[in-house]
Amino acid sequence: MNGDRRAYKGMRVIGALLICLVITGCWDSTNLETVDYATAVGVEYKEGKFIVYTQLVDFASIAKSEGGENRAAKVWIGRGVGPTFYGAYSELLRTAQTEMNTEQLKTVIIRDNAVEKLDEILDALNRVRVSRYTSWVFGTTGPIEDILTTSTFFAMPQTTSLIYSPRDQMRRANLIDPLSMQHFVARYNEGAATVLLPVVGVSTRMWQEQTQPVKMQVIQGMFAIKRKGSATLFPLAEMNGVKWVNPNFTRYLMPIAGDGANKATIAVNDVKQKVRVDVSKKEPVFTIKLSVVGEVAEIGGHMSQKQIVARMKQVIKEEVLDTYRKGLAKGEDLYNLEEALYRRHVGLWRKLTHERDGWLPGEDDLIVDVSFRLRGSGVFGLS
């Protein structure tokens, strides 16, 4: 009899535990329709105040557009102002109709006037455990609202735009690599490194829908940021040489001019880079060795293979040196030569940076050695 009672009590305890396990799985559940997902955050800083923008995307419209239903994906833009980043964000939350969630945060945009507050912005963003280190980071010089309200082709959702999917679009152009939050923070905190932050803006000159111009996101240049200082802007015309030292180079169409009306376009398919540091003299001398491979994409007039190879070597060398000098003129080391010195000769690096605050290599301290191989000459061949 006592054994039956003990068995009965044991069964009751087990039953109660099973009920608790089932119930606890539902206590903190959240209905998706009561949550707003912030997919992009933009930050400005004016007159001692942070201005925080968030972009909310309608995921239902994304699902429908991906399913083939052609209707414009809806986007909402929020704006909050406050003395701190979270002060501004809290003001924004105050008027949100539902819970705001950053688990789907894909992009962070920093305006030039907020770069001086980057430490505070990064600290605030990365203290939130649900915020992702995989988010893309961009700079901008114009109003963030313009970027967050651009158009997309075929009424596709905003998540197909440049700021959400930069890798393929930017590498096709071979200008500069996109930066994830993880890589940006690592470079930003490295004292010897110069961060090259892509600058995104808006253009209405290139595309139109029927006869109406449309706003499209476009890379307009880059910010160079060193030792957590201010951001130095380099427009596209001043950064032609950066692509040649990009370790993730993929492909680039290079127009070259020969004698008279002769000209050609070369498809450069491969670039390998090596940086050497010579410390045998009073000042370190750097050599960037580029091994470039390309093929003829088109040719007008007549250019021999020898002429093409010579011209390509000349143009690439000129672009690399021109960008290097433009960087020095603005006080920036765009090829991260200081970092190469730090990695290989840290003692000399410490000495030079101690003697001269903001040390930079000299204008004549860079040698560019270019080799070019023409892999194919096309259907018609070259002499």
Residue 185, domain extent: 31-236
Is residue 109 assigned to a domain? Answer: yes
| Final residue of a structural domain among 202, 220, 236 | 236
Is residue 16 assigned to a domain? Answer: no
Percent of the chain with pLDDT over 90: 56
- Could you tell me if 274 and 191 lie in one domain? no
- Could you tell me if 207 and 250 lie in one domain? no
The C-alpha atoms of residue 299 and residue 367 are separated, in whole angstroms, by 31
Measured torsion, CA atoms of residues 33, 35, 37, 43, in degrees rounded to the nearest 10: 140
| Final residue of a structural domain among 201, 236, 271 | 236
Q: Give tens-digit pLDDT for 277-335.
A: 999 988 999 999 999 999 999 988 888 999 999 999 999 999 999 999 999 999 999 99
Percent of the chain with pLDDT over 70: 83
The helix (run of H) or strand (run of E) holding residue 62 is helix 59-66
| Final residue of a structural domain among 188, 212, 236 | 236
Is residue 12 assigned to a domain? Answer: no
- Could you tell me if 220 and 311 lie in one domain? no
- Could you tell me if 131 and 74 lie in one domain? yes
- Could you tell me if 156 and 305 lie in one domain? no
Q: Give tens-digit pLDDT for 113-154.
A: 999 999 999 998 887 655 678 899 999 999 999 999 887 776
- Could you tell me if 66 and 203 lie in one domain? yes
150's CB contacts (< 8 A; 6+ apart) are 158, 161, 202, 214, 215, 216, 217
- Could you tell me if 275 and 137 lie in one domain? no
Q: Are 213 and 204 in contact (CB under 8 A)?
A: yes
- Could you tell me if 217 and 321 lie in one domain? no
- Could you tell me if 258 and 285 lie in one domain? yes
Is residue 22 assigned to a domain? Answer: no
Write the single-letter amino acid at 291: S
For the ranges 123-137, 228-242, 331-345, the lowest mean pLDDT is seen at 123-137
Domains contained in the chain, number:
2
